[in-house]
């Protein structure tokens, strides 16, 4: 067992006999009340909150007034290295603290939560995970889009646009899977993704929805065709979730976009339904 004393950093008022722990909490997609009750309860007992740039600032108010709040959000290469975040979680827990690691959306969806958990557990510290509402599912839901729909799409695939085009996707298989595609962190690479999918056979007129700041009062939704996405790129900056597939035509757009010449219409693919309840 590692002794907290080896750091020589204990606060005068802290209890050295306390066993520290880490709770990885999903903050939800945006909108402080989209955190779970379990996640809010973890925050309420936090001694230290380590949070990302994307977490809703109001969430920090759920922690006790005396809790330490440490921002480690990363943006465009700035922020704290992952190794340093891991070390911070371990260090704070070894001091006997309850450390809440607050991550946007769900901690395990492109969140590197698994790396943090592995580091914490490797140090012999208890680590609990509280799942969160992932923007990958919540953004489409809030925009009125069912990711699956009978006769239209029987599955959905979530991928990150963050490392496009060098990410190791099997584009041909993804394009032909029939799956609704949900692209996270793809605002800047949306044009490349669309071009690649069309090259692999997705139709130029396939509906696309872009959902910006889902779950917040500033939420915006735009719809367009896949070829328009390829030509004009994403109409919103980050954070934006893209939905590519016929179900995107169900979206309730909040504004017209320059890239949208006309509203996509829902097409029934192999369905007995002649008309779909679009809009």
Which residues contact a copy of itself (rule: CB under 8 A)?
26, 28-29, 31-38, 40-41, 106-110, 113-115, 117-118, 121-122, 129-134, 136-138, 140-142, 144-149, 151, 154-160, 163, 167-170, 172-174, 176-179, 215, 250, 270, 277
Cβ 135 to a copy of itself shortest distance, Å: 9
Residue 28 contacts residue 132 (beta carbons within 8 Å)? yes
Residue 172 contacts residue 200 (beta carbons within 8 Å)? yes
Residue in 190, 183, 264, 176 with CA at minimum distance from that of residue 231:
190
Cβ 14 to a copy of itself shortest distance, Å: 28
Task: Please tell me the number of Cα atoms within 13 Å of 204 on its side-chain side.
Answer: 3
Residue 117 to residue 64: CA distance in whole angstroms: 24
Residue 263 has a CB neighbour count (10 Å cut-off) of 14
Cβ 163 to a copy of itself shortest distance, Å: 8
Q: Is 185 left (phi over 0), alpha (psi -120 to 50) or beta?
A: left
State the burial class of residue 8 (Cβ atoms within 10 Å of its Cβ: 0-12, 13-18, 19+): exposed
Residue 38 contacts residue 100 (beta carbons within 8 Å)? no
Residue 190 contacts residue 242 (beta carbons within 8 Å)? yes
CB closer to a copy of itself out of 145 and 187:
145
Cβ 81 to a copy of itself shortest distance, Å: 15
Cβ 247 to a copy of itself shortest distance, Å: 8
CB closer to a copy of itself out of 98 and 149:
149
CB closer to a copy of itself out of 66 and 270:
270
Residues catalogued as catalytic = 52, 74, 185
CB closer to a copy of itself out of 30 and 96:
30
Q: Is the dihedral of CA 16, 92, 134, 35 positive or negative?
A: positive
CB closer to a copy of itself out of 208 and 259:
208
């Amino acid at each position: 067992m590692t002794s907290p004393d080896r750091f020589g950093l204990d606060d005068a008022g802290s209890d050295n006999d306390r066993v520290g722990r880490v709770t990885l909490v999903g903050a939800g997609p945006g909108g402080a009340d989209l955190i779970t009750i379990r996640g809010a309860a973890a925050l309420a007992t936090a001694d230290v909150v380590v949070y990302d740039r994307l977490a809703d600032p109001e969430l920090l108010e759920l922690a006790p007034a005396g809790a330490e709040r440490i921002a480690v959000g990363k943006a465009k290469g700035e922020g704290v290295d992952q190794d340093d975040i891991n070390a911070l979680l371990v260090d704070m827990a070894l001091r006997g603290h309850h450390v809440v690691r607050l991550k946007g959306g769900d901690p395990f969806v492109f969140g590197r939560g698994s790396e943090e958990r592995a580091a914490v557990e490797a140090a012999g510290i208890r680590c609990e995970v509280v799942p969160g509402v992932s923007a990958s599912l919540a953004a489409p839901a809030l925009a009125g889009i069912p990711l699956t729909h009978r006769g239209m799409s029987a599955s959905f695939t979530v991928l990150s646009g963050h490392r496009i085009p060098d990410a190791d996707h099997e584009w041909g298989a993804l394009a032909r899977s029939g799956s609704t595609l949900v692209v996270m962190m793809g605002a800047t690479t949306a044009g490349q993704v669309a071009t690649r999918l069309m090259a692999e056979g997705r139709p130029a007129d396939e509906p696309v929805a872009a959902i910006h700041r889902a779950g917040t009062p500033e939420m915006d939704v735009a719809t367009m065709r896949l070829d328009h996405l390829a030509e004009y790129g994403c109409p919103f900056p980050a954070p934006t979730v893209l939905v590519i597939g016929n179900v995107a035509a169900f979206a309730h757009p909040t504004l017209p976009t320059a890239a949208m010449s006309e509203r996509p219409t829902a097409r029934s693919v192999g369905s007995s339904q002649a008309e779909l309840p679009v809009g």
